[in-house]
Each structure stands twice: as structure tokens, then as C-alpha cells.
Amino acid sequence: MHDTHDTHGDCGCDGDEAEPSAATGEGAVADGGTAAAPDSDAATDGGTATETGGDFEPVDVFEGSEMDLRPGADSCYKCTSCDTSCPVAEVDDSFPGPKFQGPEQWRLKRKEDTEVDDSITGCSNCMRCDSACPSDVPLSQMHNTARGEYVDNQMDKLSREYLRNRILANYGTLAGIGSKVPRLTNAIMGNSLVQKVNEKLLGITAERDFPEFADQTFRSWWKQRGGPKVESEDKRIAYFHGDYANYNTVEVAKALVRVYEAFGYEILVPDQRCSGTPMFANGMLDDARRSAAVNVENLGDAVEQGYDVVASCTSCSMALRQEYPELFDFEGTERVAANTYDALEYLLINENVIDPIRAVDGDQLDLPDFAYHAPCHSRNQGLDRQAVELFRHLDGVNVEDVGDSCSGISGTYGWKEEKYDYSMEIGEEMFEHMEHAEGETGMTECPTCSMQMEHGTGYEIDHPLQVLEAALVDTDVEI
């Protein structure tokens, strides 16, 4: 009922670009064919309203006084806590660390007209420095802004690196196309020759296996099933699935639907675009702005109608809650941020989840023990403990926290040929802890962390929502 619009065709964020779009331009055709289909219908999507006269007014990130980060820079007292917690600085000798990227660089920039240091491209946008800073210096906002400025002003738009980053950042575009012929795409992308070509031509590491596309996207499943099965006046959520749960880990999105419906929620699946996380991380702020505009408008409408926004990916919820208000000023940005939650978090606040979990006989369930990794973006929201603490109440299933190290992949970071080794070195501690943990199945909320966990250990990885589904939906426990 609410959702009649399948987004596959219209998520090409770049269709209106004057310059050749990374994902559709000539250079990309060589990457094994996934981007070969021109997304000519992209210009009809809602995300380009700045140009086509929509009613939101994005504020320019770099001009004007809004983005004067000087006051933030001034509150830095150089304690270096941020440097201590930066996983990249710990392994990459060429990376000067968040204190330099953030307050020092901003102070320099305000004094003289210096250009952004190119080391900013070394930052993986894990945002760990943010939560480490005792003085609330807006580090990740500074990094995001500097990265955007760097890409805009200093990066060669025809360079291989730019092209590669653009492709990685706009994963949803590729996915939208690839998922139309999932089996073919899986076959092509799984081909090692194609991977070698990707590495040679584009600098996308051949070490990693491309995530497989599901046979059916979540949105098409949702449409086919006829939308929500539960109606409710007062328990309503708008689900932000993001690209990954739509195209790849569709079972996570389905688990969310089943769990939330079991708790009596009416679910809306609004039209949406990529949350923007990979775009922020690559300094593609124009792309991110276009996505954000669509998301803020559609989610804002939902909030208006009494829905709370719920995301199953912690980087998505992070983007909506923190990065949007820090970087954009669309009408309703703050309102969407204040009404957005992580899927598990929202249930824990609003429902009694613990008693039903306690009532389940875990030994009867066909569930393994788990090695749980908290994604940096869940840690940053203070959500790093919720899964272990919840599943403590599930008898017979052991969920063990494998420690606070970053998984190392950080979205697109670990896909870059030149970062791959660092990415694995950062992840090493997590891999070791996983091997030592009792469980031989992994658990995490983040799709790319999940890739890295699988890549480093060979374990299968589940989302907490899938465990909740198994415990609460697939049993006859009373909710």
C-alpha cells in the first residue's frame, strides 16, 4: 500500500552529471560489464531536485559561515586520545592521524589559505576518533568536510583513483543494475579474471569476492507480498533498508519485517537511496547530498505521519542521525535524525524483548554460538553492547564479544588495492579473537564488517535480527 515504487532503475545518482559519471562513463565499461548498461532513466529520479526545482534547499557545504569549524578546532587540547584510537594510524605510517586531519588542519586552513593535505584520503571514516575525544571536537565532521573539499578542488576527475572511488561510493548504482540479472552478475563478478582486470584497471583489490546479489531484491519481495501485513495506528516504523539489505542480504531485511510485525508494528518501506556513507568516506559530497535529499524528504514525510525511522545497518542509522545534520541543512534533517533508530535499539527501548527471549528454550533452537563484532558505527552510537547484552538472556546460545578492534574494512576502504593490506592488518586482532571464541559463526550489524569477518575467518555471519527472528518468530513463544 505505501510502497509502489521499486527503486532499481532510478537509483543512478549520477545521471544528471555533466561530467562522465563514474559508474556509467566509458572508463567503467571495462570493469567487467556490471556498469555497462546506461542508466538513462536515472534523471527521472527524485534525487536531483536541486537542479530540477524540488522544494528543499541544500546549503553549500563549503561556502558561507555554517561550516566554520574553527570553534571546534579551538576546543582541541591536544590530548591525542583520538590518535590513540585511530585504527589506521596504528598500521599506516603515512597517515598522520585524526588530530592532524581534524583540528590542526582546520586551524591551519583558517589562518592561511592552505590546501587540504592529501593524507585525508587515508582516513577510513570509521569515526572512532569522534567518540574518543573528551572535548567533543567534531572530528568526523572535519574529516568529511576536508575530504569533500579535497576531492572537489584537488583531485583529478579523470584519474583512475577518482573513477574507482566514484564507483565504490556509488555501489547502489551498480547494484541496481547488477541485481536485475543477479545470476549473470554473480557469475561475472565471481570470475577471477574479471577481478584481476578490476584490480589492474581500477585499483579494486582482487583479493576480495564481490558480494553476491540475491535472486530477488527486498523491495520486490515486499511488493510481491503486498506490503505490510500488520496495521497499527500507534506502532509504526518506516524501514530504511539501505542498498545492501535490498540487493544482497535480503534475509536481514526480511528478518526485520517478521520481527517487527511479530511485535505488532505496521511497516512502511519508503522510497530511498543509499544512506551516503560510502560517499562521505570518499569525499563524494555532491553524490551524498543528492541521496540525502531524497532520504530526508521521504523519511521526513513518514515521520510527519507518525512513523519512526528504523535502520538495520548501523552505518545507515549513523548517517541519518549524525552525518546528515552535520553536513546538510535540508528541511527536516534534524527531525529525521531525532526520530531515527537502530532496529535492535528501537525494540529494546519500546518493547519488552527480554522476557520473551528468556522464555525461549535456546537448546531447542537450531542456533550456533556466535562470535560478535560491534561495528565502529554502532560503537560510535553507543550501541556496541546491545547484542551481547540482549542475547545473554537467550539460554543455550553463547554470544561472545570479540573485542573492540575495528574490523578494518570500513566500507569501501578495504576494497581499495592500496589499502587492502592495511585493512587486513587492522582486522587481524578481530580475526584472532574470532578464532579463539567458542562460536564458529559470526554476528554483526554491518554488512561490510560482515564481509571482512567472513573473508578473514571463513565463518558465516548473521545479523542480530536473524537471531531474533529465529528465537521469537520461528518459535511459538509469546511476545
Partner 1 sequence: MAIEADVVVVGGGLAGATAALSAARDGAHVHLISANESTLRQASGLIDALGYPNPDGDDADDAGTDAAPGPLADPFAGIDDLPADHPYRIVGADALRAGLALFDDAVGDLYRGGHTDRNALVATTSGRAKPTARYPRSMAPGLVSDDRATLLVGFEAATDFDAPLAADRLAAVGVPFDVDGVTVEFPGEYRADAAVTRLAHALERDEDAGEGRTSRQRLADRVRPHLGDAERVGFPAMLGDSQVEAVRADLSERLGAEVFEIPTGPPSLPGIRLADRLFDALDEAGVSMTTGTPVVDHETDGDGDIVRVYIDRNGAEIPYRADAYVLATGGLVGKGVDSDRDGPVEAVFGCHVPAPDDRMAWSEEGAFADHAFARFGVEPDDRLRPVGSDGSPEFGNLFAAGGVVGGADVAREKSASGVSLATGLVAGRSAAEEG
Contact status, residue 465 vs residue 259, Cβ threshold 8 Å: yes
Q: What is the DSSP string of 150-192?
A: HHHHHS-TTSHHHHHHHHHHTHHHHHHHHTTSHHHHHHHHT-H
Choose from ligand SF4, partner 1, none: what does 123 bind? Cβ within 5-8 Å by kind.
ligand SF4
Which residue type, as a one-letter code, is found at position 416? K
Helical spans, DSSP H, in 207-342: 218-224, 242-247, 250-262, 277-281, 285-304, 314-318, 324-327, 333-338
Distances (CA, A) of 283 to 179, 365, 456: 26, 45, 28
Cell of residue 444, nine digits: 554483526
- Distance (Å, rounded) from C-alpha 450 to C-alpha 410? 11
Q: Which of 10, 17, 345, 445 binds partner 1 (CB under 8 A)?
A: 345
State how far the Cα of 244 lies from the Cα of 226, in Å rounded to an integer. Answer: 22
Find the binding residues for ligand SF4 in span 134-193 (CB under 6 A): 135, 137, 139-140, 143
Measured CA to CA, the distance from residue 289 to residue 278 in angstroms comes to 12
- If one asks whether residue 67 binds partner 1 (CB under 8 A), the answer comes out as no
Whole-number Å distance between alpha carbons of 182 and 437: 35
Contact of 59 with 329, CB cutoff 8 Å: yes
Q: Which of 322, 444, 450, 466 binds partner 1 (CB under 8 A)?
A: 322
Pick the piece of the chain touching partner 1 (CB under 8 A) from 9-17, 49-57, 178-186, 381-389: 381-389
Candidates 40, 60, 79, 209: give the one binding ligand SF4 (CB under 6 A): 79
Report the nearest approach of partner 1 to the CB of residue 399 (Å).
12
The window from 44-52, 64-72, 228-236, 336-344 that contacts partner 1 (CB under 8 A) reads 336-344
3-state class (DSSP) for residue 22: coil
Question: What is the per-residue binding string for partner 1 in 140-169, x denoting contact by CB under 8 A?
Answer: ------------------------------
- Where in 398-437 is the site for partner 1 (CB under 8 A)? 401, 404
Residue 220 sits in the site that holds ligand SF4 (CB under 6 A): no
Choosing from 11, 13, 28, 123, the residue that interacts with ligand SF4 (CB under 6 A) is: 123
In three-state secondary structure terms, 267 is strand
User: With binding defined as CB under 8 A, does residue 81 bind partner 1?
Assistant: yes
Per CB under 6 A, does 377 bind ligand SF4?
no
385 touches partner 1 by CB under 8 A: yes
- Examine residue 133 and tell whether it contacts partner 1 (CB under 8 A): yes
* Site residues (vs partner 1, CB under 8 A): 79-81, 83-86, 89-91, 93-94, 96-97, 100, 131-134, 318, 321-322, 325, 334, 337-341, 345, 348-352, 379-385, 389, 392, 401, 404
